Structure 1
Amino acid sequence: MTHVTAYNTNQQYQAKVLSSKRLTPVETEEIREIHLEVDDPSFHCQVNNSFGVLVKTTGAFGNDYHHRLYSIADLPERKDGATSITMLVKRCYYVDEFSGEQYPGIASNYLCDRHAGDTITITGPFPLPFQVPENHHANLLLISMGTGIAPFRAFVKHIYEDIKDWNGQVRLFYGARSGLELLYLNDKDGDLTNYYDRATFEAFHAVSPRPEWADPIALDAALEDKAAELQALLDKTNTYVYVAGYEKISSKLDKAFANILGSEDAWKTRKAELKAGKKWAEMLY
């Protein structure tokens, strides 16, 4: 997995904030949808891209820049040479393991505090590992948590709006702390629900059993609830598995898939086959 410091920040663009909207209720963690516009006609962004945000910081050794990557969360639009893109940002805080003090995340708080008309500096775009298969009969198993839904929202919209002959099965598993935080899959902002009437698309939700106690999100249980269907998909040679979200879900997914396939060895073998065939991709943070 490529570290953010490895990305080239020399190519920079100025992006204007068109709008910033909070998607989650005020009593939950703040996640915002931010629309940007880049006037530079040389900026070309696609569905399977990310871009960086550069935030100027002042430290003990003078001015520096903090670089953070964000996925495209909707279909990019291009008009009169300008490109508009959408991003999801969760306001983050970090606790110092020595002092126990809480500090605001640099990029997330900077972005969540921006308003319409503000300008930010972005870099990229950079390719994401999630490629649309050339075979439109391929099956897609998309697994995400939190703001990991961003690349898959754009991905699913691209498949059903831009690719007219998609016939493969698409299964989206999405985890959030509570039903109120199911981004794009709720009553208020549920544009992914527009595809529920497609014969090939189905989405499954996973939430924490006790969100007020900060219990872990039961994404593994949601997968195992669909064990028979997932086993059938994993048995097919044209199935792709894409994962986006928190790094801590990796071990849970391995355990869930091992249970679905009957043993750890069976899953290790199948996962190795997926990776060898370039049908496994992940973006964890």
Structure 2
Amino acid sequence: MAAKTFAPVSLRSAAAPKGLSKTFLGQPAQLKATRAQTARVNVSTSAKLETATSQLPLEMEELPLAVNTWKNKNPLPCKVRSVERIVGPKATGETCHIVIETDKKAPFWEGQSYGIVPPGTKINSKGKEVPHGVRLYSIASTRYGDFYDGETTSLCVRRAVYWDPEMGAEDPAKKGICSNFLCDAAPGTEVALTGPTGKVMLMPEDPNTCYIMVATGTGIAPYRSFWRRMFYERPPNFEFTGLAWLFMGVANSDAKLYDDELQDIIAAYPDQFRVDYALSREQNNTKGGKMYIQDKVEEYKEQVFDLLDNGAHMYFCGLKGMMPGIEEMLKNVCAEKGLEYKEWLEGLKSKEQWHVEVY
């Protein structure tokens, strides 16, 4: 079951940067020569979708970066507008897309996170009853929300359940308090929201930047805010002419998230957008083992390194367990190229090309 598109838009294709193939691979030296190319071409595959840019309250482009507008002890009262399961029946867990009404009271930039304070209390280590602590979630919409009015925000939440084999398979031994609260919420449910927080995952201001985005599971959330800004909304001050490449790791095809949006963008912008999946229960890597995210990135190690050498930004979001494999792969590639890994990585960090938010 594919995920649904949450609001109609028009996807308009920008002309391919000169000298780049449709998969924008193998030609990184051409990137700097394409900075000013912004032509738009209508694409028949997207003709059924309505335009969105004219609906945007563009005054939101002038908003300064906000951090911790709403704090744990004084959260913003919000209401859930909708909760939708966005994975198929054979997914290895349940993930929901949750739209929350904020009434423009908690403005944010793409790449930031919100906190949710679940209702109820707990007993702390001192035996005192206290409110539950805040849980952080990457924001899965642009500043305009799924309805382009700035009145809502969206979260991508996996329901956390923990099983005890001795208890049998029918009931989980433990449920994540906040994720289950959000996934079970009905429209109108009150939510206590904090934030926004975070600067690590922000988008560069240059609309001709190359993005390499690596995600596992709900780590896709900030990238959804990226691709909707790049390809769906295209505000006048950010008409994206760069390149975007998503590496996405999930267990199987039913666990893909927002794949309908991704396929629409690929059809409309084939020269600017690419998606490569690592499906650990359906694909094998070159060594015959399960295909994990680091294995998929390694398949394109030469192109990834060349793009980084030419100024690309690389993002990682998802389970922290993916990073050791990613780092080991990059160390091996550096060794093959006669590079010192730590020095190479520090160079990327000093140029603000390296963005990591894992949990």
TM-score by length of 1: 0.84
1:38 aligns with 2:102: yes
When residues 77 and 224 of structure 1 are mapped into structure 2, their CA distance, relative to the original with a 3 A threshold, is: same
1:103 aligns with 2:174: yes
Matches within 5 A, 1:118-267: 118-160=189-231, 161-162=234-235, 164-185=238-259, 190-196=260-266, 197-198=268-269, 199-209=271-281, 218-236=292-310, 238-261=311-334, 262=336, 266-267=340-341
- 1:60-102 Cα deviation digits (max 9, x unpaired): 32242221011111223379x9720111110112469xx9x83
Q: Percent identity?
A: 24
Q: What is the DSSP-based 3-state SS (H/G/I as helix, E as strand, rest coil) of the residue aligned with 1:141?
A: strand
Q: CA deviation at 1:42?
A: 3.3
Q: CA deviation at 1:164?
A: 4.9
**CA distance in 1: counterparts of 2:247 and 2:176, whole angstroms:** 27
Contact in 1 for aligned 2:159/2:180 (Cα 8 Å): yes
When residues 19 and 216 of structure 1 are mapped into structure 2, their CA distance, relative to the original with a 3 A threshold, is: farther
Q: CA deviation at 1:35?
A: 0.7
**CA distance in 2: counterparts of 1:149 and 1:275, whole angstroms:** 22
1:71 aligns with 2:138: yes
Contact in 2 for aligned 1:177/1:217 (Cα 8 Å): no
When residues 130 and 59 of structure 1 are mapped into structure 2, their CA distance, relative to the original with a 3 A threshold, is: closer
Larger gyration radius, structure 1 or structure 2: 2
Which is bigger in relative contact order (C-alpha 8 A, separation at least 6)? 2
Q: CA deviation at 1:210?
A: 5.4
Q: CA deviation at 1:135?
A: 2.8
When residues 219 and 30 of structure 1 are mapped into structure 2, their CA distance, relative to the original with a 3 A threshold, is: same
Contact in 2 for aligned 1:30/1:90 (Cα 8 Å): yes
Q: Which has the higher strand share?
A: 1
- 1:170-196 Cα deviation digits (max 9, x unpaired): 2111110111111012xxxx1122221
Structure 1 consecutive aligned stretches of length 4 or more whose deviation exceeds 4 Å: none
Q: CA deviation at 1:217?
A: 5.2
Q: What is the DSSP-based 3-state SS (H/G/I as helix, E as strand, rest coil) of the residue aligned with 1:56?
A: coil
When residues 278 and 231 of structure 1 are mapped into structure 2, their CA distance, relative to the original with a 3 A threshold, is: closer
Paired position in structure 2 for 1:4: none
* Equivalent residue pairs, number: 267
Matched residue type, 1:23: I
1:59 aligns with 2:122: yes
**CA distance in 2: counterparts of 1:217 and 1:83, whole angstroms:** 40
Gapped runs of 5+ residues in structure 2?
A: 1-69, 284-288
When residues 46 and 136 of structure 1 are mapped into structure 2, their CA distance, relative to the original with a 3 A threshold, is: closer
When residues 165 and 71 of structure 1 are mapped into structure 2, their CA distance, relative to the original with a 3 A threshold, is: same
102-111 or 242-251, which deviates more: 102-111
Q: CA deviation at 1:216?
A: 6.1
1:15 aligns with 2:62: no
- 1:188-226 Cα deviation digits (max 9, x unpaired): xx1122221321211111111459xxx965111111111
58-67 or 29-38, which deviates more: 58-67
- 1:252-273 Cα deviation digits (max 9, x unpaired): 1112223334269533322111
What is the aligned-residue RMSD (CA, Å)? 2.7
TM-score by length of 2: 0.67
1:87 aligns with 2:178: no
When residues 168 and 267 of structure 1 are mapped into structure 2, their CA distance, relative to the original with a 3 A threshold, is: farther
67-76 or 133-142, which deviates more: 133-142
Q: CA deviation at 1:38?
A: 1.8
**CA distance in 1: counterparts of 2:221 and 2:100, whole angstroms:** 15
Gapped runs of 5+ residues in structure 1?
A: 1-6
**CA distance in 2: counterparts of 1:226 and 1:268, whole angstroms:** 21
When residues 218 and 50 of structure 1 are mapped into structure 2, their CA distance, relative to the original with a 3 A threshold, is: same
Matched residue type, 2:102: V
